[in-house]
């Protein structure tokens, strides 16, 4: 052991290759993925050929000279976890931003996957108070779902709201390329809500080097695993923004001369993203990790490699849209989808929930058709007029992101709108539910 330790502490001072993100040197006894300090900056081994070791420098290589000091750490990236993790914000390396130390166990980040036969089927409903989510796209513990949003949409605000209202034991914020303003926004919102003791943040802002971002989700998810397995807690992880994370991946793969695949993303993008998202899990002992992420789109294009691969990995996606009729941002009922909602709606929520959800969305679709008809200059029928009126109420009272009501009230609001504009047979809800719940 001792001999090894000595070997690790050997200082190398001769780099023979420098690129924008990597340095190479001759060294012995180095392990794959091992950490090193290069001229005071954190680096990780990404390639070993014989005694030639290539290191990826998270902070970038600006100013590093060929005689820079390199010290190998003998371990891969770790995070110290313990009770005093809660309520604090960390940088990408897992160091508290306000300084100080964390007392506790040292966990290797990016650890192994859960054995699929040991997983439990997700079955617990997560109420958020936002009807566009709870009513139409109910979230379930152990689910992973992103917001597909354009950069100008208020996704961080919605995410902060969801996080605060979801009855999670811990909320872990992984900020990648977060603007400093948004970072402060999150901090203030959580502080004002008196929720700081439930929050752990791992933050890489736009002021920090982009490659550092690569550590952030692993740090956050390792902390999540700690709370979910050691404390059996329900953990909600917020990943914002995964497109910027993917950009960092593409920077590194480019510097390593890898052949890019679609949209200059690395060919391993699917596996790289899946490795993170699949950390969402319902453990048998009650703990769970739920992931809500943000994937920013460019011009709403969901065929770009990042949203496309994400869509294949995650269990649905949420879209925000500005409804100009009511002047509010709504959760788009057509394009949003929660794949796991079937596991809870009508089971953990009121029996008529699925029927009400489908009826309302169908009527909203009829309204969209009526609007197209109107725009094309065709005459509207009486039914068309009523669907348009219904759509306005539905947008304002249920779909808008500023709605904050209980599940029961969402269903009642829907019935109120139904009975205001339609006859029961036009809504198409099952007989028994009409008898029981219809507003007369």
Partner 1 sequence: MNTIGNVTGIIANLVIVETEGTAGQNEICFIKHGDTRLMAEVIKVVGNKAYLQVFESTRGLKVGTEVEFMGHMLEVTLGPGILSKNFDGLQNDLNKMDGIFLKRGEYTDPLDFDSKFAFKPLAKKGDKVTAGSWLGEVKENWIAHKIMVPFKFNGEFTVKSLKEDGEYKLNDAIAVLTDKDGKDHEVTMVQKWPVKVPIKAYKNKPRPFKILETGIRVMDTLNPMAEGGTGFIPGPFGSGKTVLQHSLSKNANADLVVVAACGERANEVVEIFTEFPELEDPRTGRKLMERTTIIANTSNMPVAAREASVYTAMTIAEYYRAMGLKVLLLADSTSRWAQALREMSNRMEELPGPDGFPMDLSAIIANFYARAGFVYLPNGETGSITFIGTVSPAGGNLKEPVTESTKKVARCFYALSQQRADSKRYPAIDSIDSYSKYLEYPEIEEYLNSTISENWTDNVHEAKDILLRGKETYEQINILGDDGVPIEYHIRYWKSELIDFVILQQDGFDAIDASSSLERQDYMLQKTLGVTRMEYDFESFEDVGPYFKRVINALKQMNYSEFDSDKFKKNEKELEKILKEQKQEEKEEAKA
| Interface positions with partner 1 (CB under 8 A) | 28-34, 46-51, 76, 108, 111-122, 142-143, 229, 258-262, 267-268, 270-271, 274-275, 278-279, 281, 283-284, 303-305, 308-309, 311-313, 315-316, 334, 337, 339-340, 358, 378
Answer whether 429's CB lies under 8 Å from 352's CB.
Answer: yes
Answer whether 186's CB lies under 8 Å from 173's CB.
Answer: yes
The least distance separating partner 1 from the CB of residue 332, rounded to whole angstroms, comes to 12
User: Cis peptide before 241, with omega less than 30 degrees from 0?
Assistant: yes
Of the two residues 6 and 440, which places its CB atom closer to partner 1 in the complex?
6
Four-point Cα dihedral 386, 373, 393, 341, nearest 10: 110
Of the two residues 17 and 271, which places its CB atom closer to partner 1 in the complex?
271
Using CA of residue 243, residue 249, residue 250, residue 252, what is the dihedral sign?
A: positive
Q: Which of 34, 27, 23, 29 is nearest to 11 (CA)?
A: 27
The least distance separating partner 1 from the CB of residue 159, rounded to whole angstroms, comes to 21
Of the two residues 132 and 287, which places its CB atom closer to partner 1 in the complex?
287
The least distance separating partner 1 from the CB of residue 230, rounded to whole angstroms, comes to 12
Distance separating alpha carbons of residues 401 and 395, to the nearest angstrom: 10
Secondary structure (3-state) at 154: coil
Q: Which of 406, 376, 371 is nearest to 387 (CA)?
A: 371
Of the two residues 103 and 312, which places its CB atom closer to partner 1 in the complex?
312
The least distance separating partner 1 from the CB of residue 308, rounded to whole angstroms, comes to 5
Output b/e per residue, 269-303; b: 16+ Cβ within 10 A: bbebbbbbbbbbbbbeeebbbbbbbbbbbeeeeee
Of the two residues 74 and 96, which places its CB atom closer to partner 1 in the complex?
74
The least distance separating partner 1 from the CB of residue 94, rounded to whole angstroms, comes to 17
The least distance separating partner 1 from the CB of residue 34, rounded to whole angstroms, comes to 7
The least distance separating partner 1 from the CB of residue 247, rounded to whole angstroms, comes to 18
Q: What is the DSSP letter of 28?
A: S
Of the two residues 192 and 358, which places its CB atom closer to partner 1 in the complex?
358
Output b/e per residue, 163-180; b: 16+ Cβ within 10 A: bbbbebbbbbbbbbbbee
Of the two residues 174 and 274, which places its CB atom closer to partner 1 in the complex?
274
Q: Which residues contact 395 (CB under 8 A, 6 or more apart)?
A: 323, 325, 326, 328, 330
The least distance separating partner 1 from the CB of residue 88, rounded to whole angstroms, comes to 26
Of the two residues 40 and 428, which places its CB atom closer to partner 1 in the complex?
428
């Amino acid at each position: 052991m001792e001999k090894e330790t000595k070997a690790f502490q050997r200082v190398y001072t001769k780099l023979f290759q420098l690129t924008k993100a990597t340095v190479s040197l001759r060294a012995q006894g180095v392990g794959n993925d091992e950490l090193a300090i290069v001229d005071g900056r954190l680096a990780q081994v990404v390639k070993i050929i014989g005694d030639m070791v290539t290191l990826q420098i998270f902070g970038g290589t600006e100013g590093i000279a060929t005689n820079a000091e390199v010290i190998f750490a003998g371990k891969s990236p770790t995070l110290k976890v313990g009770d005093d993790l809660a309520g604090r914000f960390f940088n990408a390396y897992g160091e508290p931003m306000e300084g100080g130390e964390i007392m506790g166990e040292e966990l290797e980040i990016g650890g192994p996957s859960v054995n699929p036969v040991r997983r439990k089927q997700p079955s617990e409903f997560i109420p958020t108070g936002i009807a566009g989510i709870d009513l139409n796209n109910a979230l379930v513990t152990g689910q992973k779902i992103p917001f597909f949003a354009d950069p100008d949409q208020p996704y961080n605000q919605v995410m902060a709201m969801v996080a605060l209202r979801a009855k999670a034991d811990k909320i872990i914020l992984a900020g990648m390329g977060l603007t400093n303003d948004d970072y402060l926004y999150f901090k203030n919102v959580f502080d004002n809500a008196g929720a700081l003791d439930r929050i752990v943040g791992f933050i890489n802002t736009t002021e920090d080097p982009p490659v550092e971002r690569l550590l952030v989700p692993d740090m956050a998810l390792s902390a999540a695993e700690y709370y979910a397995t050691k404390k059996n807690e329900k953990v909600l992880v917020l990943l914002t923004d995964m497109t910027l994370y993917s950009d960092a991946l593409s920077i590194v793969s480019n510097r390593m001369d890898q052949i890019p695949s679609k949209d200059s993303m690395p060919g391993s993008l699917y596996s790289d993203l899946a490795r993170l998202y699949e950390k969402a899990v319902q453990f048998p002992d009650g703990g769970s990790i739920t992931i809500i992420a943000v994937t920013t789109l460019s011009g709403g294009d969901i065929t770009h490699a990042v949203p496309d691969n994400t869509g294949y990995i995650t269990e649905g996606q949420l879209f925000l849209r500005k409804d100009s009729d009511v002047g509010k941002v709504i959760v788009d009922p057509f394009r949003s989808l929660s794949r796991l909602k079937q596991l809870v709606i009508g089971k953990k929520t009121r029996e008529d929930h699925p029927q009400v959800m489908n009826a309302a969305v169908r009527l909203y679709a009829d309204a969209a058709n009526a609007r197209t008809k109107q725009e094309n200059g065709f005459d509207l029928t009486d039914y068309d007029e009523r669907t348009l009126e219904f759509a306005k109420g539905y947008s304002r009272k249920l779909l808008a992101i500023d709605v904050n009501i209980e599940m029961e009230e969402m269903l009642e609001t829907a019935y109120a709108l139904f009975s205001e504009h339609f006859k029961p047979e036009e809504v198409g809800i099952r007989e028994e539910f009409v008898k029981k719940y219809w507003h007369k």
